[in-house]
Amino acid sequence: MIARLVLAAAVLVAGAAVLLGAHRELPDWYVRAVPAWYARAVYPLEHELAIRGAARRNGVDPALIAAVIYAESGFREGAVSESGAVGLMQLLPSTATEIARRTGGDRFELSDLRDPAVNIRYGSHYLGILLERYDGSLVEAVAAYHAGVHNVDRWAARGGGRIAVKDIPFADTREYVDDVVALVTVYERTYGRELGRAA
């Protein structure tokens, strides 16, 4: 009987994931209910050492880095978007070039973005800049990662200085922020030890 209940729960969770398009609009109940074995199957984690190192260097939660990688590329190293964003963290060449300039990467070439360690290092650096810019606001930093700082600054100015997810006028950015925030919890619970968060 217990085995049947566990199997039924797994089927329900799997069905929910399919209906939600893998990682779109993860509801709170799903994040809390998904068993660790299933989360490991659906939400991969690779390049843990690079993530941990970049997190430490940039003062960014490693679960946030993993969540952004999953939302951006699904951990596909060769991912390239229609807008030209490259690699695991889907960095635009212009953003990466600016990060290289600021961090002393004088031998940086755009092809370096295909290297997971470089991509994670630069993407995490950018997340750190955004978190600092928005006083640690996860919602604003993640929204800016997706839609750009100019949009987030404009939305914040309109809303009196701060934005919540519901204040984001772009539906795709609103969904992206919801997803990443939920995925942070999934990665914390599922991969805490690998990400250096568990004792």
CA distance linking residue 96 with residue 83, whole number of Å: 14
Side-chain-side CA neighbours of residue 97 (13 Å): 6
Please name which of 196, 198, 176, 199 lies closest in space to residue 67, comparing C-alpha atoms: 176
Phi, psi of 82 (to 5 degrees): -60, -30
Residue 136: CB atoms within 10 Å = 10
Active site residue 72: yes
The answer to whether 157 touches 151, Cβ cutoff 8 Å, is no
The answer to whether 38 touches 44, Cβ cutoff 8 Å, is no
Catalytic residue selected from 25, 48, 72, 109? 72
Q: Which residues are catalytic?
A: 72
